[in-house]
Structure 1
Amino acid sequence: MEPNVRFWITERHSFIQRFLQWTELLDPTNLVVSIEKIEKSRQLLLKNEDAAIRDLANQRIKDAWKRSLSTVHPDSSKLIPVPFRPAAFLPFTAPMVFFSMMSVKSLKSLVLPQVSFYTYTTAFNMVNGNASYNRHLYESLLLGTGVIASSSFFGLFPVLFQMRVNHVLLKRALPIIILTHVSGMNVVATRSLEPIRGIEVMDKEGNVMGYSRKAGTKAVKDTATSRIVLFGTTAFIPEVFSHFFVRTQFFRQYPWSLWTFKLSCTVLVMGLMVPLSFSLFPQMGRIQCSELEKEIQSVTEETELFYNRGV
């Protein structure tokens, strides 16, 4: 069995434990770890499968799990490209969220941040989604291009609205609402083939029982929910703090400080929300066999099966 799959199935963590686990996996050093170290870690885990799960207190084993879980896709057992590893999500998206939420006077000044943000998140969702179903390269390219174009279009809608409306509350609230909803729909659209073609469901030993569209739907829904929580909170809290900050004497003396304050606030909030949102649901989702398709129920006597939710 793929070591990462075995780990997530065996270690049924609580939310707090998952949160602490993700704080380690999101360590920026996981972006610069060499391929040689990753391969050695994987070999160690493969040679000592049962011992590696039981001996998590061993620092050598613990480091091996950290490298494997943060750099290797559990479905394909392939290395995740460095820019799309979970540890790269915060450094890439936090500045993009900040610039996309800034007030602008023209549409041109917002096009690049919006397109950059949705291009990255679309690619991230696609790379870290479930990879157990068959798909062709041209399908991924066409789907990704369509999702980027539609997400960017809807992301630019608040600017068009702001340029024509003077209502202060709407001008502040609409960008947050749009960012939250479009981020969730971006996940749904990017991974839309999973509910259509189905993803692998397996027993606790890693034996594949079949491909389930219902499991695919649940995986996409849970991941979309985590993105809504992540970007909704990240956009909302800095906006609230900024509302009170502009009323202070410090801001009156140094108006330029609003940019620094809002950027710092966005990075801090998102730094907390990324591991929290990734921890909302287990990495290896569980689903009752009775909820799956009849053809899967007929080939197993297990009451509960597992599937890779994706990040």
Structure 2
Amino acid sequence: MEPNVRFWITERQSFIQRFVQWTELLDPTNLVVSIEKIEKSRQLLLTNEDAFIHDLEDRRVQEAWKRSLSTVHPDNSKLIPVPFRPAALLPFTAPMIFLSMLSVKSLKSLILPQVSFYTYTTAFNIVNGNASYNRRPHESLLLGTGVIASSSFFGLLPHLLQMRLNNMLLKKALPIIILTHISAMNVVAARSLEPIRGIEVMDKEGNVMGYSRKAGTKAVKDTAMSRIVLFGTSAFIPEVFSHFFVRTQFFRQYPWSLWTFKLSCTVLVMGLMVPVSFSMYPQIERIQCDKLEKEIQSATEETELFYNRGV
């Protein structure tokens, strides 16, 4: 069985335990770890399947799990490209969200941040989604291109409306609402093949019982919900804090400090919300057999099966 799958199935973690686990997996050093070290870690975990899952107090084993879980896709055992590893989400998207939320007079200055943000998140969703179903490279490319174009278009709409609105509250709230909804729809669209073709469901030993469209639908839905929490909160809280900051004496003396304050606030909030959003649901989720297709139910006597939700 793939070590990462074995880990998430064996470790029945609570939300707090998952949160602590993700704070370690989101360590920026996981972006620069060498392929040689990753391969050595994987070899260590593959040597004795039963021993090392329970030997988490061993520092060497802890580092091996950290490198494996943060750099290797659980479905295909392939290395995740460095820019799309979970630890890269914060440094890539935080500046883009900050620029996307700025109030500007020219729409041209917003096109690049919007396109960059949705290009990155679309690629991140496809790379870190479930990879157990059959898909051709050109399908992912065409799908990703369409998702990027539509997400960027709808992402610019609130800024077009801002120029025609006089209600200050609505002008501030509209971009946040649109960003939150589009981020969720981006997940649904980028991973739309999973509910259509179905994803692998397996027993606790890792034996594949079949492909389930219902499991694929649930995986996409749960991940979309986590993005709503992540990007919605990361956009909302800095706006609220900035609203009160501009009323302080410090801002009156140093008007330029608003940008620094808002960027710092965005990074801090996202730094907390990334592990929170990733911890909302288990990486390898459980699903009751009676909620799956009948052909899968007839193929096993297990009461529950497992599938990779994706990140």
Measured against the shorter chain, the TM-score band is over 0.9
| Cα drift, residue 234 of structure 1 | 0.3
Residue 142 of structure 1 is matched in structure 2 by: 142
Paired letter, 1:66 = K
Give unpaired runs (5+ residues) of structure 2.
Answer: none
Residue 72 of structure 1 is matched in structure 2 by: 72
Residue 254 of structure 1 is matched in structure 2 by: 254
SS at 1:144's partner residue?
helix
**CA RMSD for the aligned pairs?**
0.4
Quick check: 1:171 aligned with 2:171?
Answer: yes
Paired letter, 1:191 = R
Paired letter, 1:170 = L
SS at 2:164's partner residue?
coil
Could you report, residue by residue, the CA deviation over 1:126-177 in whole angstroms, capped at 9, with x for unpaired residues?
A: 0000000000111101100000000000100011001111210110000000
Quick check: 1:119 aligned with 2:100?
Answer: no
The separation in 2 between residues aligned to 1:91 and 1:306, in whole angstroms, is: 31
SS at 1:134's partner residue?
coil
The separation in 2 between residues aligned to 1:159 and 1:61, in whole angstroms, is: 50
Paired letter, 2:70 = S
The separation in 1 between residues aligned to 2:8 and 2:211, in whole angstroms, is: 19
The separation in 1 between residues aligned to 2:294 and 2:156, in whole angstroms, is: 44
Residue 183 of structure 2 is matched in structure 1 by: 183
The separation in 2 between residues aligned to 1:51 and 1:22, in whole angstroms, is: 23
The separation in 1 between residues aligned to 2:53 and 2:74, in whole angstroms, is: 16
Aligned pairs (5 A) from 1:1-311: 1-311=1-311
The separation in 2 between residues aligned to 1:71 and 1:205, in whole angstroms, is: 23
Paired letter, 1:289 = C
Give unpaired runs (5+ residues) of structure 1.
Answer: none
Runs ≥4 residues deviating over 4 A: none
The separation in 2 between residues aligned to 1:104 and 1:278, in whole angstroms, is: 32
- Between the aligned residues of both structures, percent identity stands at 87
| Cα drift, residue 13 of structure 1 | 0.4
Paired letter, 1:290 = D
Could you report, residue by residue, the CA deviation over 1:81-117 in whole angstroms, capped at 9, with x for unpaired residues?
A: 0000000000000000000000010110000000000
The separation in 1 between residues aligned to 2:268 and 2:51, in whole angstroms, is: 38
| Cα drift, residue 276 of structure 1 | 0.3
| Cα drift, residue 64 of structure 1 | 0.1
Paired letter, 2:306 = F
Paired letter, 2:85 = R
SS at 1:54's partner residue?
coil
Paired letter, 1:20 = V
| Cα drift, residue 277 of structure 1 | 0.2
SS at 2:305's partner residue?
strand
The separation in 1 between residues aligned to 2:286 and 2:125, in whole angstroms, is: 21
Paired letter, 1:128 = N
Please, what TM-score do these two structures have when normalized by structure 1?
Answer: 1.00
SS at 1:286's partner residue?
strand
| Cα drift, residue 48 of structure 1 | 1.4
The separation in 2 between residues aligned to 1:104 and 1:213, in whole angstroms, is: 43
The separation in 2 between residues aligned to 1:141 and 1:65, in whole angstroms, is: 31
Paired letter, 2:96 = M
The separation in 1 between residues aligned to 2:238 and 2:118, in whole angstroms, is: 20
The separation in 2 between residues aligned to 1:275 and 1:209, in whole angstroms, is: 31
The separation in 2 between residues aligned to 1:100 and 1:291, in whole angstroms, is: 40
